[in-house]
Amino acid sequence: MKKLLSVLVMTVAVLAAGCDKLSNKTPTFNNTDVTGLDYAKGFSLTDHNGKPRTLQDFKGKLVVLFFGYTQCPDVCPTTMAEMAAVMKELGPSAKDVQVLFVTLDPERDTRELLAAYVPAFHPSFIGLYGDMEATARTAKEFKLFYAKVPGTEPGSYTVDHMAGSYVFDRDGKLRLFVRHNGGPGPLTADLRQLL
């Protein structure tokens, strides 16, 4: 009887250890897990209210950061609309998420234009801008490709750019790269895991 009891105790201990390992397993995300990448350490830009901002200003919240420009015909408004849908799906937890839109077109995207454009998608969204040098420095920090493409008339250019967003956790660490046009569902699920 003592032998049987010992075997049962050992079996329960092994099963409990296995359950503990399962509960501590690494989360599986829908988007690309880039945890540990040593780039996108930060930025220093100005928000659409004229306030200087860094990534540290949003510590304690998840940050979803997207690069684009207000005259973008498709990718940028689609992404911003998806982000607004994500905020709606998150419900009360949306207060713990900050969406940032960084312009790649500081020549045309003035503070006033960003102040009208970005919060139109969701009142909590913040537009960020810098001069040409700050924009280039920030894009380089994020390993982001972008290029001005001349149009048929002066001033009618477009900006080719990588279409994706970056997600930072509450400690300001880069965690996810979100590809364009994935729909709000997968990102909402990923943000819930990080929250």
Q: Which amino acid is at 187?
A: L
Q: State the pLDDT at residue 115.
A: 98
Are the C-beta atoms of 158 and 151 separated by less than 8 Å?
yes
Q: What is residue 173's predicted lDDT score, i.e. its pLDDT?
A: 93
Mean pLDDT rounded to a whole number for the chain: 87
pLDDT band at 4 (very low <50, low <70, confident <90, very high): very low
Q: Is the pLDDT of residue 183 over 60?
A: yes
Q: What is the mean pLDDT of residues 134-149?
A: 92
pLDDT tens profile 68-107: 999 998 899 999 999 999 999 999 999 999 999 999 999 9
pTM metric for this prediction: 0.84
User: What pLDDT score was predicted for residue 27?
Assistant: 77
Q: How far is it, in rounded angstroms, from Cα 36 to Cα 134?
A: 25
- 161 is an annotated ligand-binding site residue: yes
pLDDT on residue 24: 57
Percentage of the chain lying above the pLDDT 90 cut: 69
Question: Domains along the chain?
Answer: 45-194 (3.40.30.10)
Please, which pLDDT band fits residue 180 given cuts at 50, 70 and 90?
A: confident
What is residue 69's predicted lDDT score, i.e. its pLDDT? Answer: 96
Region of 176 on the Ramachandran plot (φ > 0 left; ψ -120 to 50 alpha; else beta): beta
What mean pLDDT is predicted for residues 155-173?
Answer: 91
User: Which CA distances in Å does 22 have to 10, 88, 195?
Assistant: 18, 31, 19
Please tell me the predicted confidence (pLDDT) of residue 94.
97
CA distance 13 to 50: 59
What's the mean pLDDT in 39-59? 91
Report the distance separating Cα 192 and Cα 96, nearest Å.
10
